[in-house]
Chain A
Amino acid sequence: MGDYIAIVILVGLAAVICGAMVSLSFVLGPKNTTPYKQSPYECGVQPLGDARERFPIKFYLVAMLFILFDIEVVFLWSWLTVFKNADLAYQTFSFGAVMVYMVLWIIGDAYVIRVNAIDWDETTSLHPAKLGEPDPAALPVTARDLELVGGAR
């Protein structure tokens, strides 16, 4: 545990500095609030609709593939710390094992690219309209939205 004291100090310093920045500016800063200042955007349009909008599914696909490739990297990390200083028998054997592993990884990667799972282009990817869901942008404007727009003028 003694080897990690530097990291603990780093984490502590980061916490202190960030906490000081946020809390001191909150305590010391001048405050005169107006309703206009309290709105989500101070300069620009009035917000329309709800902030809790449904996300497109492509965010989910990217996050999910990130997890799976993330855990594959963890396995490789423990390998590369040993590989350099190990004996020849270990090096040859584990190299073969890791190559089999990498082939499986590349198959997965090729599949991901083949089916355009992480393709950000909405014409080939997962625009909500293509999923049979109503597109939030295409919905008719509600009376409340109109009222908000009118309030801005």
Chain B
Amino acid sequence: MTGNNLADYLTLGLLMFSIGAVGVIVRRNPVVIFMCIELMLNAVNLTFLAFARYMPSSAPASGREASFMSGQMMVIFVMAVAAAEVAVGLGIIMAIYRLRKDVDVDEMNLMSG
């Protein structure tokens, strides 16, 4: 697959990240906000992979493999952390719902001082 360059992948990642950030600001449903955070995490994963594939490093030949494996390792660990984060985060949303019968984020102001 030739014909693509690094900037194309970065543009896709940037668009997804910006849309996710807009969603976090605009939406009030915590589950949808959570989805937008997942969108941003995936945009970052895509950026890591694009750099891993395309970005030449100044490392010597022996460290060359390490430089393009590190991006993929980062993505794997981001996925593992995201799985744990989703399980616990959705558990928190359900616990809040159980307490308040309502999950509007604008109404959750108990800790706003």
Contact = CB atoms under 8 A, between A and B. Distances in A.
Asked if A and B touch directly (CB within 8 angstroms), the answer is: yes
B98 A71 contact: no
A67 B83 contact: yes
**Most chain A beta-carbon neighbours within 10 Å: one of B80, B83, B84, B94:** B83
B contact patch SS: helix
Nearest to A71: B83
Interface residues of A, number: 11
Contacts of B91: 64
A131 B87 contact: no
Contacts of A57: 94
A57 B86 CA distance: 16
A97 to B, nearest CB: 14
22 contacts: A1-B1, A57-B94, A60-B90, A60-B94, A64-B87, A64-B90, A64-B91, A67-B83, A67-B86, A67-B87, A68-B83, A68-B84, A68-B87, A70-B83, A71-B79, A71-B80, A71-B83, A74-B76, A74-B79, A75-B76, A75-B80, A131-B98
